[in-house]
Structure 1
Amino acid sequence: MDWYLMAWQKYFDFSGRSRRKEYWMFFLFNLGIGIALLVADLLTGSYSKTAGMGLLGGLYSLATLIPNLSMTVRRLHDIGRSGWWFFILLVPLIGAIVLLVFMLLDSKEGANDYGPNPKLITP
């Protein structure tokens, strides 16, 4: 839970680095909350097949847009890449695979251009 809350505390922080564990824990919490909200949307009848989501899920997706983006940029910084690599997602299919591989890579040892290694700072 601390990893999830840490991402919310760094809502607009696009600088620095985020560990792989921080990124994936935030991802998993978001996935779990998204599934719970999908069920709630289906039960309340607010799910729209046309939109592919419901009211609650849509509001949560909108609320987590900036934290997801900032977390991804910090994760890219952790492996020594610029946040601009996020736009690789604009390349159909290949871009998503490349970004997934980047998110799975381990941190660069020691400090890099984006700050000290977070593994040595956070528990």
Structure 2
Amino acid sequence: MPQKVISNFINIVTGKYFCFNGRAGRAEFWLWILVMFLVSAVLGFIPKIGAILGLIWTLAMLLPSLGVTARRLHDRDKSGWMILVCLIPFIGTLILLLMCLPEGERNDNRFGSPTN
């Protein structure tokens, strides 16, 4: 399992950094979220420079995070613009995560073929 998490993360950062097209399955999306959470948690425990490193990490991972979220929404046959739901105060992020939770379309949709 750890090998899959690491390879998924490397694939997104190196191969799909600016990719907003296509589809991302649940595993790709949630493994990305897991890595983002774990790295942020570790950086949060580093005294003195943890906040600065956390900010750098967040800024560096902003585009791939938006990309994998847009592709996850595409897998559900929803527009990537639904990411803007996050702008709703207090509940926007929760709504977006709930939209990413269910299984994607099993067949081809307007965004392409399903991922494995």
- TM-score surpassing 0.5? yes
C-alpha displacement of 1:91: 1.5
Report whether the alignment pairs 1:2 with 2:7.
yes
Aligned CA RMSD, in angstroms, stands at: 1.2
Alignment partners' CA distance in 2, 1:101 and 1:4 = 22
State the Cα deviation string for residues 45-94 of structure 1 (Å, max 9, x = none): 235xxxxxx11111001100000000100000000000010101111233
TM-score, structure 2 normalization: 0.89
- The size of the alignment, in residue pairs, is 110
Bigger-Rg structure (1/2):
1
**Gaps (5+ residues) in structure 1?**
48-53
Matching residue of 1:22: 28
Q: Which runs of 4+ in 1 moved over 4 A?
A: none
C-alpha displacement of 1:109: 1.2
Matching residue of 1:112: 109
Alignment partners' CA distance in 2, 1:94 and 1:28 = 20
Give the share of equivalent positions with the same residue, in percent: 33
**Gaps (5+ residues) in structure 2?**
1-5
TM-score, structure 1 normalization: 0.84
1:39 paired residue among 32, 41, 45: 45
